[in-house]
């Protein structure tokens, strides 16, 4: 899907065809649309292919009069087990003389906000500022998703204190995996922004310096938050692993006690059930005495084992 957007009199609107200084949003393009991007708009085929590669890492590259910026954007989803997952998806930004292109494999929150005009002062005719505003919003989305991860992990921790559930443990594992994705993508994004900051690939204007510094600050803050949350979550998982192991030991200890205690009646009944002459065993004149013996021995063994457990 290819859509065209312009900013007219401060209003962000969609138009029917490309005009100078417009933003061209490309989402999950068909082979015919990819051919159109290359043949009609003259985009570098390698740039288009890189932007549509979900395994492509964040980077910036310039070829002739076109500049490609690949940046990782945060995405959240829910799997079949209702486990909240967070991951990153690369988005390509291609800057040409006349247009700014964004190419993505799927619709993301960033693109939704941009097309609705909720990102303030988004001007595609000011190409450098337009790119920096998108990068700033991406950094803000990373921070927002990191806060969501923290809230979900805190809620799961509270529930796990009451009862160990596999669903909650799987949720924590998914969050830990998500933080690894976020940390890797954020570091790659930071390297790309640092390269932009040097001003050798994208022309920077004086009024854009403050905006670029804000992007760097937000990105570094997101990296720091991802590192902190990852450490907390890792410690939490280690703690719950120790709790599970300790609970397993307690269960096995209790089962051992029950097994030992249940063996005592079998031993006593086995002796008194032997086919031997009456009077050979003590108190074999009536079934009451062996029964009382079983109850006494079992009670004594139970008391001794419970006392030992308390120590």
Token pair 């998703």 is found at 145
Q: Residue 218 has what pLDDT?
A: 87
Nearest partner of 24 among 120, 118, 95, judged by Cα: 95
Q: Residue 164 has what pLDDT?
A: 65
- Mean pLDDT of each 10-residue bin along the chain, 311 residues long: 79 78 86 87 85 86 85 83 81 86 87 80 80 88 88 78 70 83 88 80 75 86 86 77 74 77 73 61 64 76 68 48
Q: Residue 308 has what pLDDT?
A: 65
Q: Choose the CATH number for 2-246 among 3.30.460.20, 3.40.50.720, 1.10.357.10, 3.40.50.300.
A: 3.30.460.20
Query: Quick check: pTM over 0.85?
Result: no
Q: Residue 287 has what pLDDT?
A: 62
Q: Residue 196 has what pLDDT?
A: 81
Q: Residue 29 has what pLDDT?
A: 85
Q: How far apart are CA 34 and CA 52, in angstroms?
A: 10
**What is the domain partition of the chain in residue ranges?**
2-246, 247-310
Q: How far apart are CA 102 and CA 97, in angstroms?
A: 15
Q: Residue 282 has what pLDDT?
A: 65
Q: How far apart are CA 99 and CA 131, in angstroms?
A: 12
Q: Residue 257 has what pLDDT?
A: 75
Query: Residue 108: phi, psi to the nearest 5?
Result: -125, 170
Question: β-pairing, 59-63 with 84-95?
Answer: unpaired
Q: Residue 281 has what pLDDT?
A: 62
> Is residue 205 within 8 Å of residue 127, measured between CB atoms?
no
Question: β-pairing, 23-27 with 100-104?
Answer: parallel
């Amino acid at each position: 899907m290819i859509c065209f957007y312009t900013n007219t009199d401060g209003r962000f609107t969609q138009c029917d065809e490309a005009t100078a200084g417009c933003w061209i949003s490309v989402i999950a393009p068909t082979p015919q649309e990819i051919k159109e991007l290359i043949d009609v708009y003259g985009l570098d085929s390698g740039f288009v292919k890189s932007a549509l590669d979900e395994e492509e890492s964040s980077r910036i590259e310039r070829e002739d009069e076109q500049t490609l910026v690949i940046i990782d954007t945060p995405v959240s989803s829910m799997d079949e087990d209702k486990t909240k997952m967070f991951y990153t998806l690369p988005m390509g930004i291609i800057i040409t003389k006349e247009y700014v292109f964004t190419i993505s494999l799927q619709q993301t929150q960033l693109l939704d906000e941009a097309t609705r005009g909720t990102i303030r002062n988004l001007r595609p005719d000011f190409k450098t500022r337009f790119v920096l505003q998108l990068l700033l919003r991406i950094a803000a989305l990373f921070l927002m998703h990191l806060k969501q991860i923290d809230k979900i992990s805190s809620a799961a921790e509270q529930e796990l204190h009451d009862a160990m559930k596999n669903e909650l443990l799987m949720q924590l594992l998914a969050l830990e995996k998500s933080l690894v994705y976020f940390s890797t993508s954020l570091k790659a994004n930071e390297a790309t922004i640092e390269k932009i900051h040097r001003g050798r690939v994208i022309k920077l204007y004086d009024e854009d310096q403050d905006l670029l510094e804000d992007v760097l600050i937000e990105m570094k803050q997101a990296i720091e938050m991802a590192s902190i949350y990852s450490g907390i979550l890792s410690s939490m998982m280690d703690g719950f692993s120790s709790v599970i192991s300790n609970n397993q030991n307690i269960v096995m200890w209790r089962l051992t006690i029950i097994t030992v205690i249940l063996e005592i009646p079998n031993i006593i009944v086995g002796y008194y059930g032997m086919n031997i002459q009456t009077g050979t065993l003590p108190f074999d004149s009536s079934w009451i005495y062996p029964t009382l013996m079983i109850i006494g021995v079992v009670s004594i063994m139970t008391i001794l084992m419970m006392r030992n457990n308390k120590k």
